Structure 1
Amino acid sequence: MKKIILVAGATGNLGKRISKALIEKGADVRAIVRNSTDSDKIKALEKIGVTVLQIDMSDSDAIATSCEGITCVVCAVAGLENVILDLQKNILEGAIKAGVPRFIPSDFCTDYNNLIAGENRNFDLRRDFKTYIDGTSIQTTSIFNGCFADILMYNTPILNVKEKSIGYWGDNADWELDFTTMDDTAAFTAEAALDDTAPRNLQIASFQVSPNMIYDHIKQISGKDYKIHQMSSLEDFASHIKRQREENPAGKNELYANFQQSQYMYSMFTTQHTELANNRYNNLSWTSSLDYIKIFVK
């Protein structure tokens, strides 16, 4: 008998990939979307085999009805407090009302459990939801994928192809950063959603790569020597982030405010995934750092 998985946030980049991966693994996939959702996004989900249910997402009874017969709810929603806390709580309440046994929250980020509260606003929201869901009886699995590998393509300080530079904070250019591609994250999440024995926390990374390793990869791929340099000490970076936040109070309402982007970078150089669950599912293949960088560096 097919397992029925419900995905919230299925119209998003990650949510659609998770839905597709679940279908490829033989699951029956439902998606709950707002009544106002663009029809083209709904058609795109239906085209890959997803059953789409348009509902009032503020109505936990409507969510509960959509959750009847569901074995696991996967949340791939993105946003600030009104989404990560308020919306997810509504979805959770509906799932519990319907007797859904398992829930995967929107924790697709670095494992924040060993980080200091207050250092990353978006992690703090997820930490608050963790406290809330752990007070319920539903079986929960958080998937921590580090940083999505896509950022390497967009000329961030860590790797700027346009300026041919590689930057790092702190004093260790051999510090390995956790990156996972969206496709790898989706494939692993699909496996976990179908795995009734999945534990509370699962750390993954397509690859762990240091600034020095990035330099070596680019040299191998292109023959070019990129400038590798320290951006600042971690202490100075933390002070810079504090000033950014104070100087832009309106940023508290922006999902990717400048200070939040800096907070993400800071977290990458202050914690690592040390208990990777990559081998939990034998049929998965993982993208290497060299193969990924080859996609956009010539």
Structure 2
Amino acid sequence: MSITVGIAGITGKFARELASALLKYPDINIKGYCRDPSKVPESLSSKVSLSKGDAFDTSAIRSFVAGCDVVVCCYLGDDKLMVDGQKALIDACAAEGVPRYVASDWSLDYTKLKLGELFPKDPMIHVKAYLDAQDKVKGVHVLVGMFMDVFFGPMFGTYDASSTTFKYWGTGNEIWEATTYRNAAEYTAAVCADKSAYGIKKFIGGRATIREIAESFEKVYGVKPKLESHGSVDGLFKKMHELRKNDPQNVFSYMFLFYQYYMINGRTYLGTEIDNGQYPQVKPVNWEDFMKSVPKDQLANAFFNVGNDI
């Protein structure tokens, strides 16, 4: 029996990776929703059914979700989009009899956080509560740690390609849990194909300390990277809050420090009780595997290449 998967925000990076992964399932049909269908690559648009509309066009959204067995939200934007936009999708799913909704999560375990602690994840907390209160739509929350592709990017601040240096807070022995965009998309596709999958699903490509990541880097690329400590985990907490207090509008000066803090302080770990084994057809891509797949001179730009070869 075929399954119809709706992807809201199909022009995004993760959405394109997800669509590509779903297309490998012969019994899955894909419906896509976005503001501008012309931005969907022809290699993809020729294989999916596209609907045009914005996140708050109720009639267009209901038309899009109608007939779907599961809807996946791939929105990425401000709090209004991430909360109210998702609520509009969930309401449409309830009205049209769509039994499952995959929330726009793909992150560390934000369910262990209080509102305001890791502020970019507050919308996810609100949406999960909204889904938990539903009686017609079952929520699905795919947690993957962080994206490896982002870890090596210049914005995140842990890897400096120009000096081949890994920069870290803490002892260097803190665990980093991460999954590549593509691997996360593969697991999400498997969840979509599994009609019994709902609730929190945890998938991890790799767990490693920054010291172990540096060792893998040397093994893969034949170059020994430098390791540079910025200070203690408590020092990171103080630094990120100082930056936010002194210049709150300059969000990018401190946002990734908040992510780093909650990634390594242990609060948001997915841990070892994960769901990878439920879908053995998906091979987890660990830190070393990822580096083997990306040339050294392209590592810092890996994030920008996500979804481009679909």
Give the gaps of 5 or more residues in structure 2. Answer: 298-310
Larger RCO (CA under 8 A, 6+ residues apart): 2
2:257 to 259, 262, 267: 262
Is 1:15 equivalent to 2:10 in the alignment? Answer: no
Q: What is the 5 A alignment of 1:1-298?
A: 1-26=1-26, 27-34=28-35, 37=36, 39-41=38-40, 43-47=42-46, 49-137=47-135, 138-155=137-154, 156-171=156-171, 173-251=172-250, 257-271=252-266, 272-274=269-271, 275-294=273-292, 295-297=294-296
Deviation at 1:262, TM superposition (A): 1.4
Deviation at 1:88, TM superposition (A): 0.7
> Equivalents in 2 of 1:289, 1:57: separation in Å?
35
Using the size of structure 2 for normalisation, the TM-score is: 0.87
Deviation at 1:147, TM superposition (A): 0.9
SS of structure 1 residue aligned to 2:281: coil
> Equivalents in 2 of 1:165, 1:56: separation in Å?
42
Q: Determine if contact 1:149/1:180 at 8 Å carries over to the other structure.
A: yes
> Equivalents in 2 of 1:86, 1:199: separation in Å?
22
> Equivalents in 2 of 1:104, 1:163: separation in Å?
40
RMSD in angstroms over aligned alpha carbons?
Answer: 1.9
Q: Determine if contact 2:118/2:258 at 8 Å carries over to the other structure.
A: yes
SS of structure 2 residue aligned to 1:77: coil
Deviation at 1:117, TM superposition (A): 3.1
Deviation at 1:121, TM superposition (A): 1.1
Letter in 1 for 2:72: V
> Equivalents in 2 of 1:291, 1:139: separation in Å?
34
Aligned to 2:302: none
Deviation at 1:197, TM superposition (A): 1.6
> Equivalents in 1 of 2:185, 2:87: separation in Å?
23
Distance 1:265 1:281, change over 3 A: same
Q: Determine if contact 1:102/1:140 at 8 Å carries over to the other structure.
A: yes
Letter in 1 for 2:33: I
Identity, % of aligned positions: 22
> Equivalents in 2 of 1:15, 1:248: separation in Å?
33
Deviation at 1:235, TM superposition (A): 1.5
> Equivalents in 2 of 1:22, 1:273: separation in Å?
25
> Equivalents in 2 of 1:223, 1:196: separation in Å?
45
Moved more, 80-89 or 241-250: 241-250
SS of structure 1 residue aligned to 2:254: helix
Which runs of 4 or more aligned residues in structure 1 lie more than 6 Å from their structure 2 counterparts after TM superposition?
none
Q: Determine if contact 1:146/1:178 at 8 Å carries over to the other structure.
A: yes
Deviation at 1:128, TM superposition (A): 1.3
Q: CA offsets, 1:154-193, max 9 Å, x none?
A: 244322232221222223x222211111110111101101
Letter in 2 for 1:262: L
Give the gaps of 5 or more residues in structure 1. Answer: none
Distance 1:134 1:116, change over 3 A: same
Using the size of structure 1 for normalisation, the TM-score is: 0.91
SS of structure 2 residue aligned to 1:231: strand
Letter in 2 for 1:91: L
